[in-house]
Amino acid sequence: KKLRVHFHSFMLGIHKRLFELQKESGQDPLVLVAKEIADAASIICFDEFQVTDVADAMILKRLLETLIEHGVVLVMTSNRLPNELYLNGLNRDQFLPAIALIEDHCDIFPFPVDSPDYRMMGQESKTWINPLTEVTIDEFADSFAKLSKKKKIKSGVLEVQGRRVKVPAAAGGGAQFFF
């Protein structure tokens, strides 16, 4: 029973499940969610473990603690050492016990500073379209059309944790948002 999941996706699922359980149960929903996860997986690999959201930061210690108490083995990949997680975050002092928990229960294997950064390889590919001009807007529209597999692009509404989010353009498993 193993689970490999991108950490951000995992936390979205946690918040969704917490939202559902808050309506149903009088018990602590975070403990219930952690128990459900522990029943489903005895080892969890979090890919890209990165904490940037205050809501995640505030629940992580209890979540990880409950998983560990239930015998779940945690493996994490990250671009940051544990003591650099949620650096300069709101109420970071309340997150420090989560860092201590990670440091106490996990073996840390930092990569040497001179290790190749594979994210930087292949930078000649067009991943950024900048600055915003009529030409770059057309380039982006062409790229979106290719990525959407030439399916009909249409707008819609997506419900996320009880909130309705306007989707200006969606097709072929992709979506476009403006911000």
- pLDDT 10s digits, 125-159: 666 777 889 998 898 888 888 888 878 889 999 88
158 and 90 inside one domain: no
Q: Which pTM was predicted?
A: 0.66
Rounded to whole angstroms, the Cα distance separating 149 from 133 reads 25
6 in a domain, yes or no? yes
Residue 135's domain comprises 123-176
At 11 the pLDDT is 96
81 and 25 inside one domain: yes
79 in a domain, yes or no? yes
Rounded to whole angstroms, the Cα distance separating 64 from 74 reads 9
14 in a domain, yes or no? yes
88 and 133 inside one domain: no
* Confidence band for 121, pLDDT divided at 50, 70 and 90: low
90 and 46 inside one domain: yes
116 in a domain, yes or no? no
7 and 40 inside one domain: yes
139 in a domain, yes or no? yes
132 in a domain, yes or no? yes
112 in a domain, yes or no? no
Nearest to 51 by CA among 109, 99, 113, 115: 99
9 and 91 inside one domain: yes
Report how far apart the first and last C-alpha atoms of the chain are (Å, whole number). 40
137 and 64 inside one domain: no
148 and 62 inside one domain: no
11 in a domain, yes or no? yes
Peptide bond into 168 cis (omega under 30): no
29 and 70 inside one domain: yes
Q: What is the pLDDT of residues 57-88, one digit of tens each?
A: 999 999 999 999 999 999 999 989 999 999 99
Rounded to whole angstroms, the Cα distance separating 74 from 119 reads 24
95 and 127 inside one domain: no
Between 179 and 107, the more confident residue is 107
Q: How many domains does the chain have?
A: 2
92 and 128 inside one domain: no
49 and 75 inside one domain: yes
- What average pLDDT does range 104-125 have in this prediction? 75
Alpha helix stretches (DSSP H) within 25-147: 29-40, 54-69, 96-105, 134-147
Check whether 173 has a pLDDT greater than 90.
no
